[in-house]
A and B are shown apart, each in its own frame.
Chain A
Amino acid sequence: MSLSKRLSLIFKSKANKLLDRAEDPRETLDYSYQKQLEMLQQVRRGLADVATSRKRIELQAQQLTTSSDRLRQQATAAVAAGRDDLAREALTRRSAAQQQLAELAQQQAALQAEQDKLTDASQRLQAKVEAFRTRKETIKASYTAAEAQTRVGEAISGISEEMSDVGLAMQRAEDKTAQLQARSGAIDELLASGALEDATGPAKDDIQQELDRMSSTSQVEAELARLKGTPTALPEAAPAQLTGSAPAERERES
């Protein structure tokens, strides 16, 4: 038998079990409707979970981007100061950050796709649940239990198929979210471990202080040269108050 036919039979047998449950098919309508409302709630919660995970990834991506930018600035500064060893260390760490960012971007796209699918699925279910409610009331008002049998069967089987589909979409989204949360936790650990911090660490060791001093001195010289309207840097003229900004900015991390 064809695969799609087999799948459709599997879904139908699921619905039939539900139909066999109640003696009066009209009771099945109410029971099913309750289940539908619960399912809608679940889908909404599922969507909120996916959105939360995505938000978390966005924040991580921002942190990684900040780390990556800072490490590149450091590498540039280190090269300018003739410290290739320091630059190499910064670039190695930056490369790790970039790699994580690329993977995050992929996962973010995958999660976005799941979220979109789940949003569509919940809208379809919502429309069907509303249609079901109307049909349920009509059937209950107009037919005896015996007459209702066929009509109930159609309605229940149709909506049951939709609910199964939505349920599967939710499982997929949950699986993706769980994978992502594991990944996300690993990145949190990486960020917390300081492996992506400044190559010289937050403690500001001698090398970083030296680098800071050298970089701010050269910035001051360049600024001064601009002020004087001459492209030549004048090393002896570096007023102390102008060197304040770069080190002060570094303090916020500690």
Chain B
Amino acid sequence: MIVRILGEGQLELDAGHLAELNELDDELAAAVAAADEPGFERALSRLLARVRELGAPMPADRIAVSELILPAAGSSLTEVQALLGAEGLIPG
């Protein structure tokens, strides 16, 4: 399973970790839905830390689509809401 952390690149993770990550991911989604900034920051840093811990960086010259894409470390709630709100915002 390939996961991208925005601003950091892609990591490869064993698919067996999906359930655990989903749980953390749901907490993050809930915090975004509730516009809970402190909760969002906590959930995001926990999720990112876990992904970095479990994953191995993918070689830079491999081109692959990520199954999951996570917001950049230090993103604000507003930034993530904007990302989710309009794909026109995503450059490239």
User: Which A residues are closer than 8 A to B by beta carbons?
Assistant: 1-8, 10-15, 35, 39, 117, 120-121, 123-124, 127-128, 130-132, 135, 154-155, 157-172
List residues of chain A with CB within 8 A of the CB of B71: 3, 7
Q: Give the top 8 A-B pairs by smallest Cβ distance, nearest first.
A: A167-B91, A163-B92, A127-B60, A158-B63, A4-B68, A164-B92, A7-B69, A2-B25
Q: Verify B61–A14 contact, CB threshold 8 A.
A: no
User: Which B residues are closer than 8 A to A by beta carbons?
Assistant: 3-4, 6-9, 21-22, 25-26, 28-29, 32, 60-72, 80, 83-84, 87, 90-92
* Residue among A4, A159, A171 making CB contact with B91, cutoff 8 Å: A171
| Listed A/B pairs (26) with beta-carbon separation below 8 Å | A2-B22, A2-B29, A3-B70, A3-B84, A4-B21, A4-B25, A4-B28, A5-B67, A6-B84, A7-B83, A8-B67, A8-B69, A12-B65, A39-B92, A123-B60, A127-B60, A154-B63, A161-B69, A162-B92, A163-B92, A166-B92, A167-B91, A168-B7, A168-B72, A168-B91, A172-B7
Classify the interface of chain A: helix, strand, loop or mixed: helix
- Indicate whether A158 sits within 8 Å of B84 (C-beta atoms), given known contacts A2-B29, A165-B4, A168-B91: no
- Indicate whether A14 sits within 8 Å of B60 (C-beta atoms), given known contacts A120-B9, A168-B6: no
Cβ distance A115 to chain B, nearest Cβ, rounded Å:
13
Q: Verify A128–B61 contact, CB threshold 8 A.
A: yes
